[in-house]
A and B are shown apart, each in its own frame.
Chain A
Amino acid sequence: MSRIVVGPFNRVEGDLEVSLDLEAGRIQSAQVNSPLFRGFEQIMVGRAPLDALAIVPRICGICSVAQSAAAASALAGAMGVVPTVNGKISRNLICATENLADHLTHFYLFFMPDFARPAYADRRWYPAVAQRFTAVKGDAAAEVLPARAGFLRMMGFLAGRWPHTLAIQPGGSTRAITAGERIRLLALLREFRGFVEKRLFGDSLAAVAQLASKDQLLAWADGRAGDFPAFLNAATDLGLDKLGRAYDAFLSYGAYGLFPAGTWQAGQAAAFDPVAIDEDTTSAWLAAGQPRHPAQGETIVDANKPDAYTWCKAPRYAGQPFEVGALARQVIAGHPLALDLIQRDGASVMARVVARLLELALVLPAMEGWVNALQPGEPFCAHGDMPEDASGTGLVEAARGSLGHWLSIRRGRIERYQIIAPTTWNFSPRDASNRPGPLEQALVGMPAGEGAPPTVQHVVRSFDPCMVCTVH
């Protein structure tokens, strides 16, 4: 048995190190380390409650809006405020813009460049893929950055700027959209749809959204020009449809009123129960103790704790590790393609990427509907008072999966603030019963070390980790 350490693991958000125990070139066990700790949960303690809206976006520059939305939702709960209709639509639009831009960034800038590695030089698809997806220099980068920047102009109207907006408030949004701006938002959505249909899919959003099985998907991709078909082609050749399976246990808090909350495990869908979550600190450089529900959670540094190997806690649902993300959302929403993929092969590198791109096809048309539903002249923000003592929970879906904020307020100040980010679920370490987190499990059995193909890279990136969120 030998151990190798993979890091810095770049083209993810933040810092990641993976330790692999190898036997005959195969991974026997993996340990995932988040080597950066900032401690945002402590920064909030003692602050005025609404200060959380200015602080939490700074947890993460890639999903800052999701952090804002979770905080606003927790504060709204504490205040007993219900956002206005326009406010809810605006929040959906702001969150969806970030999530879709994130899927795009992940696919083009973080995930696909691995296919341009020299290790694949002898594959028949290599020359075209390398030409298009080589990091920074590939043709795709030059096209996708303007498309991404153009799409994020949505944020200029809806949120003032991105990242780090204060527009999302407990009662809705500070930014009322005018009738003229609604036209501009629709134009921006059309422009982005044009890029996605022409370059990414090589087909209409509707055609992609209707794909209902793996067979249909691969038949659709065969011979089609487009970046998604190119991915499917290479991924099938490399067997990425059968690589990177974790526990096939999925969790989602539900998104936009479009995708429901729930869990899915062993072929069974079930309702989501927020009480069933707790966090275990066994393997983290944090004070030991019984697993706690995040509403009672603590984050106390113990930097020299023996046997700990990460700053990340281990969130569990009913005591079990769960995978979150676009695949989880789509499985729980019952999308036939997502269900077929996992029922045939389990969660895989391919299934995770497919689910992400499927969301582009499903959510963009919904965004057009939301913009049409905005009512200029009607209020965008409801108002209320902050009680001296209260608590609240904000559960949202970031691009990478389920994000929760739990806060309590005492004597007008934040008394406790706990956060579980999507990557905290997916990249969690072992818990008290020594059960690995989802990525740790997904890596077992894969080839690694000297001369191995870069499959570890694909599996890790298939989760689209956001390490700065993980340990906030």
Chain B
Amino acid sequence: MKVLWLQSGGCGGCTQSMLCSEPRSLFDELRDAGIEFLWHPALSVDSGEEALTILEDCAEGRLAFDALCIEGAMLRGPNGTGKFHLMAGSGRPLTEWVARLARHAKWVFAIGSCTAYGGFSANTPGNPLEACGLQFDEQTPGGLLGAGFQSSAGLPVINIAGCPTHPGWVVDTLEKAVLEGLTVADLDEYGRPLLYAGELVHHGCARNEFYEFKASAMKQSDLGCLMENLGCKGTQAHADCNLRPWNGSGSCLRGGFACIACTEPGFESPGHAFQETPKLAGIPIGLPTDMPKAWFVALAALSKSATPKRVRNNAVEDHPVVMPAVRKKGGGK
């Protein structure tokens, strides 16, 4: 699989994240799966005219490639000119390059939430950058390539969303495509591969005991569940962050801060401060989507009344102050 990779209105973080791929060296892992970069702005040696020649040959169909990976939002502004991001050395908007190249790709991958939905650039008040994703404008199908776009493999844009995206999500999706193929059934309604978006961030959260008892963190650095007060959207965000660790052993929740649902379209403007949970009559809005609200409230009240002292006390400290009890074996012989 020959991969052509371009970056536009993003931070480069998805590439930086991908380089953390483990356990093997990313380059060895990809090589052994038959995946190679035809050109990547951060990794290839070709620059200037050499690089533009590769891109032009691909855009004209003279040089074959399989996968187009785009990282960063599509910036159509100002006034539709694309001048907020011209491809260096070419004087042409990145949006134009992407549209030309996408016609020749077997698969088009949006690497990260900026590329998938528009990202923070699309969230400036009034969107002066005219930013959008490849096939979504936030939640709305459309984007640069249009709602009906299909790559030559008959697929819509594959949105490996996340801000940044996890290295495993990218590597596994590319390998699935090249080794087994991808079908529409492998994607959810936002074009995200189910191999990671079929889970919720909540699954495998190390704070689940606190969640069970609604033993909530009150302030940053507390050990308790972050959903009730600190804005955590782990029960609503599609990703396997707590099943597939970040940087060896981490995740946002393990890091002590809330999930801001960075794999979801529109996460940049949640309508409230990121690290606060909006509430109505003391009850958080935005409860788990697949649970009736009344049941949730009833169960929460019940579980709060049954919270063990250990869980209640540890929830509001940054380290455990009550250890799990050691059951003493009864009286010797």
Given A148-B19, A162-B247, A468-B11; A37-B85 close (CB under 8 Å): yes
Closest 3 CB pairs of A and B: A160-B255, A61-B13, A7-B89
Q: In chain A between 63 and 80, which residues have their CB closer than 8 angstroms to a CB of chain B?
A: 64
Is the Cβ of B128 less than 8 Å from the Cβ of A301?
yes
CA distance A159 to B252 in the complex (A): 8
Q: Which residue of B lies closest to A188 (CB)?
A: B248
The majority secondary structure among interface residues of chain B is loop
- Chain A residues closer than 8 Å to B268, beta-carbon distance: 55
- Chain B residues closer than 8 Å to A7, beta-carbon distance: 47-48, 87-90
Is the Cβ of A173 less than 8 Å from the Cβ of B13?
no
Q: Is B287 an interface residue (CB 8 A)?
A: no
- Chain A residues closer than 8 Å to B15, beta-carbon distance: 61
Q: Is B123 an interface residue (CB 8 A)?
A: yes
Q: Which residue of B lies closest to A135 (CB)?
A: B45
Given A7-B48, A10-B51; A164-B88 close (CB under 8 Å): no
- Chain B residues closer than 8 Å to A365, beta-carbon distance: none
- Chain B residues closer than 8 Å to A6, beta-carbon distance: 47-48, 89
Given A58-B11, A160-B250, A376-B319; A166-B275 close (CB under 8 Å): yes
- Chain B residues closer than 8 Å to A157, beta-carbon distance: 248-250
Q: 10 A-B residue contacts at CB 8 Å?
A: A35-B88, A43-B120, A51-B273, A55-B120, A142-B25, A145-B27, A148-B20, A153-B249, A178-B319, A380-B221
CA distance A164 to B20 in the complex (A): 14
Q: Which residue of A lies closest to B126 (CB)?
A: A42
The interface size bin for chain A is 35 or more
- Chain B residues closer than 8 Å to A39, beta-carbon distance: 121, 124, 128-129
- Chain A residues closer than 8 Å to B78, beta-carbon distance: 301, 303
Q: In chain B between 187 and 226, which residues have their CB closer than 8 angstroms to a CB of chain A?
A: 219-221
Counting chain A CB atoms within 10 Å of each CB, the highest count among B11, B128, B245, B268 belongs to B11
Question: In the assembled complex, how far is the CB of residue B144 from the closest CB belonging to chain A, in whole angstroms?
Answer: 16
Q: Is B42 an interface residue (CB 8 A)?
A: yes
Q: Is A117 an interface residue (CB 8 A)?
A: yes
- Chain B residues closer than 8 Å to A58, beta-carbon distance: 11, 13, 119-120, 163
- Chain B residues closer than 8 Å to A457, beta-carbon distance: 47
Is the Cβ of B44 less than 8 Å from the Cβ of A161?
no
Q: Which of A51, A156, A163 is in CB contact (< 8 Å) with B248?
A: A156
Is the Cβ of A135 less than 8 Å from the Cβ of B120?
no
Q: In chain B between 41 and 91, which residues have their CB closer than 8 angstroms to a CB of chain A?
A: 41-48, 51-52, 75, 78, 81, 83-90
Q: Which residue of A lies closest to B123 (CB)?
A: A43
Given A145-B25, A303-B78; A116-B88 close (CB under 8 Å): no
Interface residues of A (CB under 8 A from B): 5-17, 33, 35-40, 42-43, 45-48, 50-51, 53-55, 58-62, 64, 105, 109-110, 113-114, 116-117, 134-137, 141-143, 145-146, 148-150, 152-157, 159-167, 169, 171-176, 178, 301, 303, 376-377, 379-381, 383, 457, 468
Q: Which residue of A lies closest to B167 (CB)?
A: A149
Count how many chain B residues have C-beta atoms less than 8 Å from C-beta atoms of the other chain.
79
CA distance A134 to B83 in the complex (A): 34
Is the Cβ of B250 less than 8 Å from the Cβ of A13?
no
Binary CB contact string for chain B from 248 to 285 against chain A (1 if under 8 A, 0 otherwise): 11111111111010100000100001111000000000
Q: Which of B9, B121, B255 is in CB contact (< 8 Å) with A166?
A: B255
- Chain B residues closer than 8 Å to A142, beta-carbon distance: 25, 27-28
Q: Which residue of A lies closest to B11 (CB)?
A: A61
Is the Cβ of B11 less than 8 Å from the Cβ of A176?
no
Given A5-B89, A8-B47, A40-B120; A62-B163 close (CB under 8 Å): no
Interface residues of B (CB under 8 A from A): 7-17, 19-28, 37, 41-48, 51-52, 75, 78, 81, 83-90, 119-121, 123-125, 128-129, 163-164, 219-221, 245-258, 260, 262, 268, 273-276, 318-319
Given A136-B37, A149-B22; A109-B42 close (CB under 8 Å): yes
Q: Which of B11, B17, B121, B256 is in CB contact (< 8 Å) with A160?
A: B256
Counting chain B CB atoms within 10 Å of each CB, the highest count among A165, A166, A468 belongs to A166
- Chain A residues closer than 8 Å to B128, beta-carbon distance: 39, 42, 301
CA distance A109 to B51 in the complex (A): 17
Q: Which residue of A lies closest to B88 (CB)?
A: A7
Q: Which of B51, B164, B274 is in CB contact (< 8 Å) with A164?
A: B164
Is the Cβ of B86 less than 8 Å from the Cβ of A160?
no
Question: In the assembled complex, how far is the CB of residue B126 from the closest CB belonging to chain A, in whole angstroms?
Answer: 9
Question: In the assembled complex, how far is the CB of residue A180 from the closest CB belonging to chain B, in whole angstroms?
Answer: 11
- Chain B residues closer than 8 Å to A175, beta-carbon distance: 221, 254-256
Is the Cβ of A169 less than 8 Å from the Cβ of B45?
no
Is the Cβ of A156 less than 8 Å from the Cβ of B129?
no
- Chain A residues closer than 8 Å to B87, beta-carbon distance: 7-8, 15, 35
Given A43-B124, A301-B78; A152-B247 close (CB under 8 Å): yes
- Chain B residues closer than 8 Å to A110, beta-carbon distance: 42
Given A10-B46, A159-B255, A161-B251; A61-B14 close (CB under 8 Å): yes
Given A6-B89, A135-B44, A145-B25; A160-B252 close (CB under 8 Å): yes
Q: Which of B46, B51, B52, B220 is in CB contact (< 8 Å) with A171?
A: B220
Is the Cβ of B44 less than 8 Å from the Cβ of A11?
yes
Is the Cβ of B44 less than 8 Å from the Cβ of A136?
yes
Question: In the assembled complex, how far is the CB of residue B15 from the closest CB belonging to chain A, in whole angstroms?
Answer: 7
Is the Cβ of A160 less than 8 Å from the Cβ of B274?
no
Q: Which residue of B lies closest to A177 (CB)?
A: B319
Given A13-B12, A164-B163, A301-B128; A169-B221 close (CB under 8 Å): yes
- Chain A residues closer than 8 Å to B23, beta-carbon distance: 146
Given A62-B16, A152-B247, A176-B221; A8-B41 close (CB under 8 Å): yes
CA distance A159 to B246 in the complex (A): 10
Is the Cβ of A113 less than 8 Å from the Cβ of B85?
no
Counting chain B CB atoms within 10 Å of each CB, the highest count among A53, A54, A159 belongs to A54
Q: Which of B28, B43, B121, B247 is in CB contact (< 8 Å) with A161?
A: B247
Is the Cβ of A165 less than 8 Å from the Cβ of B255?
yes
Q: Which residue of B lies closest to A5 (CB)?
A: B89
Given A136-B43, A160-B252; A176-B319 close (CB under 8 Å): yes
